[in-house]
Amino acid sequence: MNYFRLVFKQVVLKLLRIYQKTLSLDYGPLRKLFPYGYCRFHPSCSEYTYQAVVKYGAITGLWKGLKRLVRCHPWSQGGEDPLL
C-alpha cells in the first residue's frame, strides 16, 4: 500500500511539473505574454499544489490545491498565501 501511495505521489508531482513547463502562464513558454505574472497569489496555484503534495501527500495536497483554485477568481485580492 505504501508503494502505491509513493508512486501516485510521484505521478502527481510529475504531472504538475509538466503542466508548469507547458501550459502555465507563470512558468511555461506563455509567460512571455504576462511578464509580471498571471497568478494573483504568491506562490502560484500550481506551485502551491506542488508544495502541498510534497508536504502532505497526493490526496491531501490535491485537496488543498483545489481549495486554493476555488479562491482564485477575478474578485479575489490575492497576495502572499504560503503553505502552512
Our CA dihedral for 33, 36, 41, 43, rounded to 10 degrees, sits at 100
The three-state secondary structure class of 2 is: helix
Q: Is the pLDDT of residue 26 over 90?
A: no
| Whole-prediction pTM | 0.89
Q: Is the pLDDT of residue 12 over 90?
A: yes
User: What percentage of the chain has pLDDT greater than the value 90?
Assistant: 58
- For 11-15, 27-31, 34-38, 44-48, which range has the lowest pLDDT when averaged over its residues? 34-38
**Chain mean pLDDT for the chain:** 91
Q: Tell me the CB-side half-sphere exposure of residue 20, using CA atoms within 13 A.
A: 17
* Per-residue pLDDT tens over the stretch 43-64: 999 999 999 999 999 999 999 9
Domain boundaries, the chain: 2-20+39-80
- Predicted confidence band of residue 38 (pLDDT cuts 50, 70, 90): confident
